[in-house]
Structure 1
């Protein structure tokens, strides 16, 4: 019993020291950097886009010192949990499945329709070959239908799969896919859309309740003063609040 008490005391001391240190440390903002207009790497080699502007403003309002790091999408949640960064701000939709592993702030975008990009308007999205990025809500949706799912590590690869005939269509956020139709007349969005997820939020470790609270308050303040809607309109993300 004595050893147990000593161990408990030591653990409490370590936790207290870590808690105190969390107030002074730099918060690492993890993103993919490959999902314009939400996040991308600009010509200067820096993280840019809607979420870069949003994240910087949230850190100012939460009085936090932040830095940006990039991580490939397929390992973005495991590397948050293991401590490689402190938040995910990467176009990640809030879902029940993800919420079992990590925690989310309130949403900072409305749910964005998922759209199908194809070379023909009469593509069979229920029985054809449909591409999606690995680990996305779109991949989960396709897997639950009669279509054949082909997964790729990056969103750009899903579009390339349609262009080269590997897939009949790609399912992704409409905001992401629309610019491809403006750049390439052979690509088109079919009429059918899917409403998936509960909007996009910041992902955090379940143990970081205080940090979540700070970002929740900052997001709410941007909703209240209209600055979040201004960013959504600037980057053409979707519906405003």
Structure 2
């Protein structure tokens, strides 16, 4: 009976540990190549592949959930998921509310996309950007009129229908759009904003941050992170 009780207790502890290792990964699912929803309705992209490998190296079981960008930080803080992997650049402003792992991409150039042949006044024109992004903050501080939208698709639509003179977004996101639409083209010079992309966590989750930091560093050390960055054409490697 004693052995049975010990075995039962150990089984309960093992089950509890397995349950505790499940981490909910929050993403937008609307910002390729970082994250998007594939034809099977599943989260896909650079961050899905990277996140799954990080979880494997950290000994965690991860579940992916999607959330609109404009509420992605509040829903992390309130506990609806445990991390953010959504192409989120590390900034001082965000770091006052949540914590970040080390960056898993270099700062990605932001670029302006406009109608082909258009002359854009970057300091006095109307520039579209997604709400709550580093690009929106940059436009707001540049003197231009900021036109904000909840989704990246809407920012592109604003340029196509003439609401905005240009859109400012990550070049990695805009390049496939420009390649497929001859009526759109890049204008002006690229802009470097932010400190690269990292994983967002609640400030209270120091142990989880430590695990993911170690996993990210291991992928930097063995070259596998650079291989993923090259595969998904995210930007500069480490």
With the length of structure 2 as denominator, give the TM-score of the two structures.
0.91
Counterpart mapping for 1:1-241 below 5 A:
24-119=20-115, 120-241=117-238
3-state secondary structure, aligned to 2:20: coil
RMSD, matched Cα: 1.2
> Structure 1 residue 121: deviation in Å?
4.5
- Report the CA distance between 1:25 and its aligned residue: 4.1
- Report the number of matched residues: 222
Residue 35 of structure 2 contacts residue 43 of structure 2 at CA under 8 Å; is this kept in 1?
Answer: yes
Q: Secondary structure at the match of 1:90?
A: coil
Query: In structure 1, what is the Cα distance between the partners aligned to 2:205 and 2:138?
Result: 30
CA distance in 1, matches of 2:106, 2:187: 22
| TM-score (norm: length of structure 1) | 0.90
CA distance in 1, matches of 2:136, 2:205: 29
What SS does the corresponding residue of 1:228 show, helix, strand or coil?
helix
**Deviation string, structure 1 residues 173-222 (Cα, Å, up to 9, x no partner):** 00000111110011001132211000000000000000000000000000
Q: Indicate if the aligned counterparts of 2:21 and 2:59 stay in contact, CA closer than 8 A.
A: no
Structure 2 runs not aligned, ≥5 long: 1-15
Contact 2:107-2:196 at 8 Å conserved across structures = yes
For residues 144-186 of structure 1, the C-alpha deviation after alignment (integer angstroms, 9 at most, x for no partner) is 1110001000001000100000100000000000111110011
Q: CA deviation at 1:21?
A: 6.5
In 2, Cα distance between equivalents of 1:23 and 1:113: 39
Deviations 1:111-137 (A, max 9, x none): 011100001352111110000000000
Structure 1: any 5+ residue segments left out of the alignment? 1-19
SS in 2 for 1:240: coil
Deviation at 1:90, TM superposition (A): 0.2
Aligned with 1:54: secondary structure? helix
1:178–1:224 CA distance, 2 compared to 1 (3 A) = same
User: Where does residue 7 of structure 1 map in the other structure?
Assistant: none
Q: Distance in 2 between matches of 1:65 and 1:22?
A: 8
